[in-house]
Amino acid sequence: MEKLATRDGYGKALLELGKQNQNVVALDADLSDSTRSEYFAKQFPDRFFSMGIAEQDLIGAAAGLAFSGKIAYASTFAIFSERAYEFIRNIVSRNKLNVKIAGSHAGIFTGEDGKSAQAIEDIAIYRALPNMIVLQPCDSVEAEKMVFALADYKGPSYMRMHRNPVPVIHKADYKFEIGKGEVLKQGKDAVIFATGTLVHEALKAAEILEKEGIKVYVVNIHTIKPLDNNLVIELAKKTNCVVTAEDHNVIGGLGSAVAEVLSENFPCRMKRIGLQDKYAESGKPDELYKKYGLDAESIAEEVIRFVKKR
């Protein structure tokens, strides 16, 4: 199976979008080679703005371009985008400006760069902002579809991307819709709501669980805000056994979002898999996932314990 990073899908789609829509502009904070916005920059240098290592300038300039009617895509590392939080809050979010923030190298999947570069709180930060939608593709094709969907969406957004390649599970004709979860696998004993790289781990965990006689739904939650509340409630009612999986702190991320919905609509048994309110360390992504319980085997073990308790 082909493997590509979601940042590659972002760069490819941004280039194609630029060819189709002259109103699209792109900005970066001295990381265009890493975020892949360089694809756009090489083709459309007059519509690309390199702001240097100055994230507040990145957001301020993007906001100004959006205010003048442009569709502004602003990219940097997820962790560095947080430097401009106050600008994002008071200029972009508060005024509902059409700025598309793209944060690459998110989560401990970033690997050897270590805890200073591993954003594990970005979903929580952006999810708390009114008017802001939060998305995370699970493969490069979904990242491409997301870029195009955001061009049609009027308002601020945060798109979370990853450094390392993951299997491409979607076909070119995949229909992406903001706010609608995607059921990748049917089940009956439990449901795993996963996002980003953990979608792949959840699918592998489902295969392990089947050998143990446990069948689980696997749902790709590519839109964390607005969450697909109806799907969450529907599958919770069917299983009464909900698991969330994410490469993010369990506080404030997908697990928190799902728990909020269920606590008010259908309180049920729930387990959150993610970083247990701790920073990780430097290491290879697969080794880090195993150590911190984010790999398929660890997820399967948690689900087995959870289901048996029922």
Task: Please give the positions annotated as active site.
Answer: 55
Nearest CA-CA partner of 146 in 4, 2, 11, 1: 11
CA distance 202 to 244: 9
SS3 (DSSP) at 133: strand
CA distance readout (Å), 262 to 79, 253, 269, 296, 309: 30, 15, 10, 25, 20
Q: H-type helices in 212-295, by residue range?
A: 229-239, 254-265, 285-291
DSSP 8-state class, residue 110: G
Is residue 192 within 8 Å of 245, Cβ to Cβ?
yes
